[in-house]
Chain A
Amino acid sequence: MKRLLGACLFLGLSTLSSYAQVAPFDMSPERPAEPAPAEKPAAPFSPLPGQQAPAAPAPAPKLAPAPIRADGQWRRYIVPQDSLSFSGENGDKTWAVFITADQAAAPATLTLAYQSSLVVAPEWSTMTVSINNARIISEPVQSPEGRKTLTAKIPAGVLKEGLNTFRINTSLRHRTDCTVQSTYELWTEVDPSKTYLSFTGDNPRRLKKLDDIRAIGVDGTGRTAFNIVVPAIDRTQATAPMLHTAQGLAILANMPNQTVTVSSTLPAEQSPGSLTVLLGTDEELQSLAPWAGDSRTAPGVAFVDDPATGSSILRFRGADWQSVTNAVAGFVDPLKRDLSVPRTFISTQTWRSPDVPLFISSSRVKLSELGVDTKNFTGRRLRTEFAIGVPSDFYANEYGKATILLDAAYSEDVLPGSQINIYVNDNIAATLPITTSGGEILRHFPISFTMRHFRPGVNLITIEAALTTKTDSICAPGSNASSTTRFALFDSSEFVIPSFARIGTLPNLAGLSGTSFPYNRSGKPLPVVMNNAGEKSLSAAATLLARMAVAAGRPMEVDPRATANSAMNSNALFIGAIPQIESSVLTQTGISENTRTIWSAVKGNVEPAPEENTQSDFNEWRERLSGRGWRGQISSFDDWLNRTFNISLASLMTSDESDAPYTPEPAATLLVAQRPNPNGDGVWTVATSATDDNLIEGVRALTRQDHWPELQGHISIYKAGTDEMQMVPVGNYTFVQSQPLSFSNMRLVIANWLSGNILWFSLILVVLASLLGIATSRMLANLGRRI
């Protein structure tokens, strides 16, 4: 608790100071109605200003300190997330940072600030930072007075042009305690806003080639911002090139937390992690600044330098909109991937290295290929993670099992009762108790675990070994210093995924977040419906499409439209504040018309009406009365069933509840819903909010790396007040064939469907078996002897 409060407090303070620093220069047009920064944390849903700050969506990208320091140093933040903490005894984070040729050539220093828990014993705890496998920092972990800053010169030649692998490793030990439980008290937090590369000179900040877009990097909160400046923002012709540009940029930079801001005026300056992009005809650009309209170079796309700030600005120009559109196409088209070419990897390098392999059928991979090293472990709780990807038509959640063939060894110290756990996306999926004493070598020992928690796109699988030993139960002073290996995990272990059912289901927002399914598979331009689009809804649309493009691994051709009628028989994406969304769209996507009222009431701070839900009331009563008398015994049997088999009476009931029109709670900032279109031949997805401000805030939060995978179900909502996502599970759904028909796939699809519709399996079994009985009886009566 103490740790949490401390962290929040310090983050909060830093944010506040950033505001203070930047606000005077903040003239960016997309945030005109932004309340004064000091008021911001006092949002209605936040009881403690100090806690609000870190959880709040990162404010606009320009809060970072000025890039050029007095000492002529230029900073590049390197942590691609807004917080980076290592908990437990061992921690590991590997990602890649794109470095331009100039940056690679320049002398550079690495600065890292961290804070660790008080119980960490510095004598036995270390933190190592390496770049391209060269150890840059290796220090005992010790931050007695709060944050500690480490600085190290990066030897020349370590940084290379292109992607550079950064890796932070922690090994923490407890001062006094030796229990597995105590390892949860161990943590180290790296402060992203104080962790950066500093380059000397002016060249490193220059971007020259288009490929240098990948070096855009992040700001102190791990965000990446594209400011697309379109002077003719209201021109219809401009919308599509704008959205295409946003996608192209997003795919090229491929950073985890990217936002796109569309505006008609130049931002005052370009902070780290952001890139200003000009889009327009020479004439239009001329109105922004003289240099911007400079038409001496050939039409197309290139970097130009802003003489005022010295920063590199990407410019798409042409004599007229046709040639601007061509310029955009010239930039985006090379990034396109043919529909028939499947991806084998999901590119995640910039936040998690190596790239995640995408499994589209049965596969078998060594953990070493998934970025797991052999580990010789002396502590008590070893965690190691790797990620795998599954396609959006993955349909094996109900029945499927994946396997880890574990190569590991444990010493005679390890007592029976220790466990090896497998987690999938932080849900426990399998437990292997260690049952023999005296040590053992496991050679390709199979641990099967359910694929229930798999979702389209990237999935995180964690292997955790929780080890109890005799030495630990005695816990003599200094025993944490022991360097005897207790457990070894070998990188020759393998991950095996069997061939799994593949069929698309709709609605399925998880498919959208995973690989932009089904829009990623369409050859036709995607209609994007924005009524009366202002800068904010355009920015929101651009941000969302940029995220979808990254998920899809290809830019998607879009077709801006104004009304739903034009998209009646096709796919469509609707973006806008709720007043802009037509009622027919709300109805079609299962959102209650009441939403309008509820959201308009929010502005008046009306207490939300208490939700009534008979089923949940009923369950509550059952809960209260459980354990009483013999009926209690039945319900505790139900509990046991539930624990052992995950069956409850509820799972046997087929309910249509979720198909009633959905009304979000007033606190919902953003609502995303998906349903087939009225004709049933396409999919409609709606992203809507109470207001334009909520929309842009919500979309920015939604597209963040930590929230994006939580986009699931039929409807997902984001609540800014608590910075959390909620989802409404899919009720009725339809199948979309994604693979050529094959017997083995159909079989698996049916298996999954029946596993989800338990009673149907029993019913079909009974019917077929009865038919078999009848057929057998007929046959036996006709064959053999009769009397």
Chain B
Amino acid sequence: MRKFLIILMWLVTSISVLLLVTLPVNLQTQLIAGASVLFLMMVLKTLNAGGIWRLIALAFGTAIVMRYVYWRTTSTLPPVNQLENFVPGFLLYLAEIYSVMMLALSLFVVSMPLPHRTTRPATKGELPSVDVFIPTYNEDIELLANTMAAAKAMDYPADKLTVWILDDGGTLQKRNADKIVESHIAEKRFKDLSELCEALGVHYLTREKNVHAKAGNLNNGLEHSTGELIAVFDADHAPTRDFLLETVGYFDEDEKLFLVQTPHFFLNPDPLERNLRTFEEMPSENEMFYGIIQRGLDKWNAAFFCGSAAVLRREALNVTGGFSGISITEDCETAIALHSKGWNSVYLDKPLIAGLQPATFASFIGQRSRWAQGMMQILRFRFPLFNGGLTIPQRLCYLSSTLFWLFPFPRAIFLVAPLFYLFFGLEIFTASGGEFLAYTLIYMVVNLMMQNYLYGAFRWPWISELYEYVQTVHLLPAVVSVALNPRKPTFKVTAKDERIDRSRLSELSTPFFVIFLVLLVGVGVTIYRIYTEPYKADVTLVVGAWNLLNLVFAGCALGVVSERGDKRPSRRVKVSRRCEFRVGERWLQGTIDDVSVNGLRVQVLGDVAEAVSVGMLTDVRFKTFATGDLGDLPLQVRNVRKQAGETSVGCMFMPDQPSDHSLIADLIFANSAQWTKFQLDRRGNPGLFKGTIWFFGVAIFQTYRGFSYLFRHLTGRGKREWEGTL
């Protein structure tokens, strides 16, 4: 009853707001109202008001957005009888309506995300049995070794923990491939991996045929195992020691729980972060998703499975016959299937795995194409809105998650729309300069402020737009192709461990330069038009400014596709662990300062610079968290630096036996607290104003960098100096 009254009250107030904003008041009134609301939002923003004020500010924004939509719908569409204007005009309108609809859905999802869940450590007494699945296809064995070692090292009773390598790279089908080279590689992989598994105490499992890709592989694992719970890790996602203890407890509380999902935390930057050098200072792209969207989804019991770093209940999976494989995003699809059968999910907002993400722009695009295509398939085959098993909020949540991937369409339209006017004189948006100011500009600022309100600490201004733009160029064809041919896309494994040892232009960079140049011509046309056609300078200025904004994104994107050479592909994690460092026969006291997946840096007490030479093979000895035993890890010295009273030695791991990987995993993955700390360090909301200035600065520099890369690429000059610079 109370609930009903509360909903009724909400309905009454929203209908009142709706009625008010759809009044056809005049331009003056709109301008004053828009400006007042904007001002109030700014005040609330400046005061950093949270709680109920946050929702009030969002309601302000919603009112302005609705007014914009009302005006846009009723007064700005070109007349239907001018098809040359109407068709592009209507497309632009659809693109805007899409954006508004996505804003509405995200408001629903993240207006009041669940707060951080308090930890719920499992009681050690009656723990369920867990199968850990590590599906792999073609990942390096080295990489797998770390993951396996970390999985084995998880703090959990050994009799209840079984780790499985599900190898799709060594299937019978692969080993008997017609191409001799392929079959040879598969055979070797099968052999090496089996041996490694045996050494680490991990079960190796492969199958006859590579059917149904990852979902098929996981289902094969289900068939061969019996644990109550299934933990899934990607080949490069190494869990911390406390992963299981943090997660399995939730299954006790709720019998209908099928999933506990944890965030993906990446040790290396994605291409944008790497090339723009923002990895250390700005929150990562996926933090918006894992930091707030999943929490929002969790409020509506709609947190979904992200393919890795999650624990699932076998009983639930059996209901749907294992992992679903119609789409190439089996994870989300499985979650929909189980949610619609009344099972629940939980999202735990604490990074408990660390992994790698695609390093090059090309593989980044490959990964995103798979997500986009998979989500399109879900939209096509399991349209969430009409899925009767889901609750209404769940439907909206899934709609939000899947429709998001249509963004290439509006992005592309926003990109070309101003050019229609600048190049062809088409008027696809009928509004005067004044109306543009009173409606569109205020709407745009309000929209940005709402985004900042919603995601401020997780996503800086304009970064979403940049990410969308850089993906659009290549995702648009991918999404179109899946729309035309929904069953065609096949699962492609994303390569994540590539190294970019020298600076170069990405192989996908050409369209970005072309687009940039076209937009630049657009700027030229703008200036020309302002001077030659002064009678419509106001419209030209507005459209020109829009085009200029596109140019800024396009320029910034040039930096994204100009891949920096990076000597250290993965991030060094700060640790501080006592160790002993071997110099010749002596063991010297030292501290391990930082580690990465490839090596570590040790501070050795005393001046040993003479005794240590680059290329020297040595060992480091430390006590593991897992067992408390001492272990020796073989290293090769890469550099030596003298410091006051100490010597800093940089080394590369030289693992030669399986147990060495356990030591590496123990160093890197033992402690989840360090990742949380790293993430929190990057979080911070620069605010709309500062963020915008910062972004424009970055964009200008990146445009310059993009062109200097292009110049060198074309002339081939100064290659040596270039590498490793800029």
Contact = CB atoms under 8 A, between A and B. Distances in A.
Contacts of A416: 533, 535
Nearest to A763: B36
A399 B28 CA distance: 9
Interface string A189-213: 0000000000000000000000000
Given A436-B425, A645-B434, A776 B111 contact: yes
Interface string A431-444: 00101100000011
A494 to B, nearest CB: 12
A134 interface: no
A423 interface: no
B300 A433 contact: no
B13 A775 contact: yes
Contacts of B16: 768, 771-772
B418 to A, nearest CB: 16
Interface residues of B, number: 62
A769 B23 contact: no
A435 B20 CA distance: 36
Q: Among A443, A748, A761, A785, find the residue whose CB has the most chain B CB atoms closer than 10 A.
A: A761
Given A768-B63, A775-B9, A776-B55, A761 B434 contact: no
A764 B531 CA distance: 43
B17 A772 contact: yes
Interface stretch (A257-265, A319-327, A561-569, A646-654): A646-654
Interface string B56-72: 11111011000000000
Contacts of B19: 747
B3 interface: yes
Interface stretch (B112-120, B280-288, B569-577, B606-614): B112-120
A531 B14 CA distance: 58
Contact of A766 (B21, B36, B111, B437): B36
A762 interface: yes
Given A416-B535, A765-B33, A773 B25 contact: no
Contact of B29 (A644, A761, A777, A779): A761
B301 A768 contact: no
Q: Among B20, B29, B32, B53, find the residue whose CB has the most chain A CB atoms closer than 10 A.
A: B29
Interface string B17-45: 10111011111110111001100100000
Nearest to B427: A435
A333 to B, nearest CB: 43
B6 A778 contact: yes
A226 to B, nearest CB: 44
A758 interface: yes
B712 interface: no
A184 interface: no
B298 interface: yes
B63 A776 contact: no
Contacts of B180: none
B63 A782 contact: no
A417 interface: yes
A644 B433 contact: yes
Nearest to A778: B6
Contact of A777 (B17, B20, B52, B79): B52
B535 A417 contact: yes
A654 B2 CA distance: 43
B725 interface: no
A647 B31 contact: yes
A759 B25 CA distance: 12
A190 to B, nearest CB: 37
Contact of A780 (B28, B40, B111): B111
B425 to A, nearest CB: 6
Contact of A784 (B25, B62, B301): B301
A403 to B, nearest CB: 10
B26 A399 contact: yes
Contact of B299 (A436, A754, A771, A785): A785
A747 B15 CA distance: 13
Given A761-B25, A781-B112, A775 B14 contact: yes
Contacts of B13: 768, 771-772, 775
A750 interface: yes
A766 B60 contact: yes
Contact of A755 (B14, B29, B82, B433): B29
A446 interface: yes
Contacts of A778: 6, 9-10
B23 to A, nearest CB: 4
Contacts of B112: 777, 780-781
A770 interface: yes
A91 to B, nearest CB: 28
Given A435-B533, A766-B37, A768-B13, A773 B433 contact: no
Given A778-B10, A785-B114, A769 B300 contact: no
Contacts of A769: 17, 37, 56, 59-60, 62-63
B7 interface: yes
Interface residues of A, number: 54
Contact of A765 (B10, B63, B75, B79): B63
B67 to A, nearest CB: 9
A774 interface: yes
Nearest to B301: A785
B48 interface: no
B325 interface: no
Contacts of A559: none
B115 A787 contact: yes
B14 A770 contact: no
A105 interface: no
Interface in A431-488: 433, 435-436, 443-446, 448, 450
Given A766-B37, A766-B40, A777-B112, A748 B60 contact: no
Q: Among A419, A450, A754, find the residue whose CB has the most chain B CB atoms closer than 10 A.
A: A754
A450 to B, nearest CB: 8
B81 interface: yes
B520 to A, nearest CB: 24
A781 B2 CA distance: 12
Q: Among A762, A765, A768, A779, find the residue whose CB has the most chain B CB atoms closer than 10 A.
A: A765
A433 B535 contact: yes
Interface string A379-418: 0000000000000000000111000000000000000110
Nearest to B108: A780
B536 interface: yes
B454 interface: no
B115 A775 contact: no
A95 B146 CA distance: 98
A751 interface: yes
Nearest to A646: B28
A649 to B, nearest CB: 11
A783 interface: yes
Contacts of B342: none
Contacts of B10: 772, 775-776, 778-779
A762 B535 contact: no
A773 B28 contact: no
Contacts of A748: 24
B301 A747 contact: no
A773 B60 contact: yes
A494 B158 CA distance: 85
Interface string A626-665: 0000000000000000001111000110000000000000
A773 B32 contact: no
A774 B55 contact: yes
Contact of A787 (B36, B82, B117): B117
Given A766-B40, A775-B9, A758 B29 contact: yes
20 contacts: A417-B534, A435-B533, A644-B437, A751-B23, A754-B29, A755-B26, A755-B29, A758-B28, A761-B23, A761-B32, A762-B36, A765-B33, A765-B63, A766-B40, A769-B17, A780-B55, A780-B299, A785-B298, A786-B114, A787-B117
Given A765-B21, A784-B300, 19 more contacts: A419-B535, A645-B27, A647-B28, A748-B24, A751-B25, A755-B29, A764-B20, A766-B60, A769-B37, A769-B59, A771-B16, A772-B17, A772-B62, A775-B6, A778-B9, A779-B6, A780-B55, A783-B3, A785-B114
